[in-house]
Structure 1
Amino acid sequence: MMDMIIDDLGIELWRIPVVVISAIGIYLGFMLLVKIFGSRVLSSMTASDAVVVIMFGAVGGRVILGHPPTLATGLIGLLSLMLLEASFGSFRRFTGWGRQLDRQPVLVVAHGHMLRDQMRHSHVSRTDVFSAMRRAGIGSLEQIQAMVLEPTGTMSVIREGQLLQVEAFRGLRGCEELGLEQSDASES
């Protein structure tokens, strides 16, 4: 009985590096896929998006833990993922690589007009735009001065008529559509 419990909870020493390498591979693979396909899939999820995210977790977990999964492999896998996340966070902060690794914010609506090329590039649908409008309490596109898909996958909505600070829009893909120049924007 005790041997069965140890088998179910423990791990053979040779499996530890396999679990760690698998965790690194899944982490890097997931980061690459999010970079390629966009962070939108991780934000406001539809039912199909939720299914995909759950499947990512299931596939990733099985790859990391291997067969048979045990408590020890699970803890080693989670520890590996947490250390990777902490390491990449520090790496981004100290090297400036965050700008290359993270997605760029994208302007998807400017002065009441959907920017179709930007939306297509960012995998944003008309339904996504209308949903963000409703969440912001806006009833028509004409009331939107700017809608931005943020690197986190959320949508920021700025009402028409608000002053825009140029610095807040630097690095925004499509910002030229807003017609911002130093003299046009508030410097506060």
Structure 2
Amino acid sequence: MEVWNGSEDLPIYGFIIRATIIYVYIFMVVKILGQRSMVSFHPIDFIFAVIIGDVVGEPLSSGDIALGGPLAAASFIAGLHLTLSYLALKNARIRRIVEAEPIIIINKGHILVDEMRKAKITVESLMMDLRLNQASDLTEIDYAILEPNGQISVIKKSKYDSLTPNDMMKVPPEKGYPSVLILEGKINYANLEKLGLTTAWLQEQAESHGFESIKEIFLLTMDDRSKRIFVSGQTMRDIV
């Protein structure tokens, strides 16, 4: 009970157990909240992460603090965060309050200084983000937008866009989804069955790429449309 209630003389194994409990708890919270909090890091997600880290982190450093209170507070905050996210998803008015609106920094090739100041973006920071978007030449940019997650997206002028097959009146074959058939020498039977293939076919592919056994293959994938195969061995000498 002293692991849960806390003690000034909490032994080392007590901290280890506490760390395990909090890790499992945070893992479950992230699973419940979904991938949005990790992939698209909005300001509300940042606030949630900071508060949760502070609340559940203190019992790990102070053995005399009980776990019940911090975990209950963290659960309430997680529930509040999930509720706000759900309401923002369902209601446009709440979404405008909870989530920031995109801010146009460059409009039709012209830098909007007032919007830059509003977003607290310096010229150096803007230039860095443009370089990261492969848009270092300002004359090629039509629009630059500061997105709600803090990243800057760039739309180039049409004449500077990359040429596509559609521009050349070409219709290339459709690209499919690469399915993993072998990973670290082990066969993915679910994908094999989905594509209507057999282990005998896999063995033939392994031999045709210079492998004696399937176990020598680190990764083998096949595109479900073009049927193109990628094979890589377990060692550098086996890479195809």
Which residue is 2:72 aligned to? 76
Residues 149, 6 of structure 1: CA spacing in aligned structure 2 closer, same or farther, 3 A cutoff? closer
Structure 2 unmatched runs, 5+? 8-41, 160-240
Which residue is 2:5 aligned to? 7
The equivalent position to 2:107 in structure 1, one of 110, 117, 129, is 110
Which runs of structure 2 are paired with 1:40-119 in the superposition (5 Å)?
A: 57=50, 61=54, 69-96=65-92, 97-119=94-116
The equivalent position to 2:149 in structure 1, one of 128, 152, 155, is 152
Query: How far apart, CA to CA, are the structure 1 residues paired with 2:113 and 2:56?
Result: 38
Residues 99, 6 of structure 1: CA spacing in aligned structure 2 closer, same or farther, 3 A cutoff? closer
1:130 counterpart letter in structure 2: M
Query: How far apart, CA to CA, are the structure 2 residues paired with 1:73 and 1:118?
Result: 44
Query: How far apart, CA to CA, are the structure 2 residues paired with 1:8 and 1:116?
Result: 55
Contact in 2 for aligned 1:107/1:147 (Cα 8 Å):
yes
Greater percentage in strand = 2
Query: How far apart, CA to CA, are the structure 1 residues paired with 2:101 and 2:147?
Result: 7
**How far off is 1:70 after superposition?**
3.3
**How far off is 1:140 after superposition?**
1.5
1:120 counterpart letter in structure 2: R
TM-score, length basis structure 2:
0.41
Query: How far apart, CA to CA, are the structure 1 residues paired with 2:147 and 2:109?
Result: 18
**Which range moves more in the overlay, 60-69 or 117-126?**
60-69
Residues 82, 59 of structure 1: CA spacing in aligned structure 2 closer, same or farther, 3 A cutoff? closer
**How far off is 1:139 after superposition?**
2.2
Contact in 2 for aligned 1:106/1:148 (Cα 8 Å):
yes
1:116 counterpart letter in structure 2: V
2:97 counterpart letter in structure 1: Q
Q: Which has the higher contact order (CA 8 A, sep 6+)?
A: 1
Contact in 2 for aligned 1:65/1:77 (Cα 8 Å):
no
**How far off is 1:123 after superposition?**
1.2
Residues 154, 92 of structure 1: CA spacing in aligned structure 2 closer, same or farther, 3 A cutoff? same
**How far off is 1:72 after superposition?**
2.3
Structure 1 unmatched runs, 5+? 10-37, 43-52, 163-188
1:75 counterpart letter in structure 2: L
Q: How many residues align?
A: 119
1:117 counterpart letter in structure 2: D
| Aligned-pair Cα RMSD in Å | 3.5
Identity %: 20
Residues 80, 157 of structure 1: CA spacing in aligned structure 2 closer, same or farther, 3 A cutoff? same
Residues 139, 64 of structure 1: CA spacing in aligned structure 2 closer, same or farther, 3 A cutoff? closer
**How far off is 1:6 after superposition?**
4.2
